[in-house]
Amino acid sequence: DRITSCGINAEYGGDIFLPRMRHIYIASFLLLLALLVSTRTQVAQNRVLVLLEDLNLQHTHSIFFSQLKERGYQLNFFSADDPSLALTEYGEYLYDQLILFAPTIDEFGGLIDVPSILDFIDDGHNLLLVADIGVSDPIREIASECGVEFDEENTRVIDHLNFDIRDFDGYHDLVVIDPSTDKDQITQNKVVLPTAQKHGPILYKGITQSLEGSLNFPILTGSHSSYSANIKSSAEIPRTIGKETVLVSALQARNNARVVISGSLSLFSDRFFASNAQKYRKDSSTTPKASGNYQFALELSQWVFNERGVLKASNIRHYLAEEKVTPSVYTIKQDVTYEIELQEWNGNSWVPFVTDGLQLEVIMLDPYIRTSFKANTTGRYSVTFKLPDVYGVFTFKVLFEQVGYSSLEINDRIPVRPFRHNEYERFIPTAYPYYASCFSMLVGLFLFSVVYLFSK
């Protein structure tokens, strides 16, 4: 379970001068407090390892980090090549989340390397990976293992139509995405970004990426006129052009670990958070607005650290619709009810999750039944169906996969057997001629015997 209930660390130092009785009072009070707190479930995944290329980044990106701290995360800042680094100790993970703000690091320090970071993800933890122009090989490798290929060295996104007005004389690589007008450039998914679409323009300066994996999805992309190129050798044909230039993307792995990959480090910087953004237009039709980077980064970090869109299924039951009991083996053509309860984590507590998109499949090689659940407002889903007239091992499959939400897959393998010898209908109308012939034969034989024996 990713979300577990957890009490406060009731570390009782003890005061040696206190009388003995008070010890007990305090101890029991603390215990009570611990119990009270532990009943309120809260995010336990608050240990964050932040690997920085340069410890100065703490200060240049202080707004981002401080709002994380405000949300209750314990941030552990380390230089990415710190020789004392380790993700695990005695087989236990020391951190729940990983932030990699080290785009150009050539080698990680300590016990951390690329495979260990990938294992961290495969064991269900989340990663915020930030690259930038001149991204190094280890970072490329991690991204590549997560289905993302960065463009070549020293390339950057350039957009001659949508750059910030301050970049007029530059390379036009300070790109502006205005959520209010460029709706196709920012994900409209309300789970990943609930409100960022309504906020100010987003400033972006960095490398582009292309998505290779089937589980990746873009969050922020370039416009039709954007492309990726090396400013030193502009003669080259751009590698990615138009909408293919993905700027920020996400991956939700099969084990529901989340990875967000950004091609820009400055996206999260205090400078971009605080500055205004204004698209350059010849006719000066745009006005400067406060940048939306802060809101964008905030919501992105909430999603990647499992504060939103986490679902859990509970009270999964299936039983005979009439008898309300679950047999070890079902019989063909029985009416079965399947029940499931879905809840969503809203950042503080589990709340009912209601959707009309939840389906049940009854599969044996092929789906025999595919039916929608009916939900009530408490997140309780139920459906009643008749098992097909086919025996075999059926899989009751509930699969819920929607972008942004953690995916749910529940498979129950249930044998469905044919009728027992005494479960068939005893007397069927079509057999009456046969019954009649049997009994007429009996009577006939009796009459014949009588006639044969007693007639002279």
Name the residues that contact another protein, by CB under 8 A: 118, 121-122, 145-147, 213-216, 251, 253-255, 257, 259, 329, 364-365, 391-395, 413, 415-418, 420-421
For another protein, give the closer residue by CB, 103 or 147: 147
> Three-state SS for 152?
coil
Q: How far is the CB of 254 from another protein (least distance, A)?
A: 5
Rounded to a whole number of angstroms, the minimum distance from the CB of residue 295 to another protein is 28
Tokens of 453: 């024996």
| Shortest Å, Cβ 100 to another protein | 16
Nearer to another protein, 190 or 413 (CB): 413
Nearer of residues 257 and 311 to another protein, judged by Cβ: 257
Q: Are 263 and 157 in contact (CB under 8 A)?
A: yes
The rounded distance, in Å, linking the Cα atoms of 253 and 450 is 86
Tokens of 90: 């005695």
Is the Cβ of residue 197 or residue 216 nearer to another protein in the bound state?
Answer: 216
- The amino acid at residue 194 is P
For the CB of residue 415, give the shortest distance to another protein in the complex, in Å. 4
| Least Cβ distance, residue 304 to another protein (angstroms) | 15
Q: Which is nearer to another protein, 6 or 363 (CB)?
A: 363
Q: How far is CA 157 from CA 19, 208, 223, 236, in A?
A: 69, 6, 10, 14
Cα separation, 117 vs 128, in Å, equals 11
Cβ nearer to another protein, comparing 347 with 415: 415
Question: Are the beta carbons of 405 and 382 closer than 8 angstroms?
Answer: no
- How near is the Cβ of 365 to another protein at its closest, in Å? 6
CA distance 3 to 6: 9
- Alpha helices by DSSP H, 158-292: 270-274
Residue nearer to another protein on the CB measure, 16 or 329: 329
Q: Residue 242 contacts by C-beta under 8 Å, 6 or more apart in sequence? A: 222, 223, 224, 225, 226, 227
CA distances, 66 to each of 250, 298, 348, 427 (Å)? 23, 11, 20, 79
> Which 3 state secondary structure label does DSSP give 77?
strand
Nearer to another protein, 121 or 342 (CB): 121
Q: What string of DSSP letters covers 290-339?
A: E-SHHHHHHHHHHHHTTSSSEEEEEEEEEEETTT----SSEETT-EEEEE
Closest approach of another protein to the CB of residue 76, in Å:
25
Q: What minimum distance in Å lies between the beta carbon of 390 and another protein?
A: 9
| CB 438, min distance to another protein, A | 12
| Comparison of 354 and 410: residue with beta carbon closer to another protein | 410
Q: How many CB atoms lie within 10 A of CB 264?
A: 27
Q: Toward another protein, which CB reaches closer, 355 or 407?
A: 407
Residue at 260: amino acid letter:
V
| Token duo for residue 71 | 């949300």
- Residue 52 or 142 with smaller CB distance to another protein: 142
Residue the block writes with tokens 């729940």 = 96
* Min dist. Cβ of residue 35 to another protein (A): 37
Task: Name the minimum Å distance from CB 194 to another protein.
Answer: 25
DSSP assignment of 412-426, as one string? Answer: EEEEEE---TTSS-S
Convert 380-417 to b/e letters by CB count within 10 Å (16 or more is b): bbebebebeeebeebebbbebeeebbbbbeeeeebebe
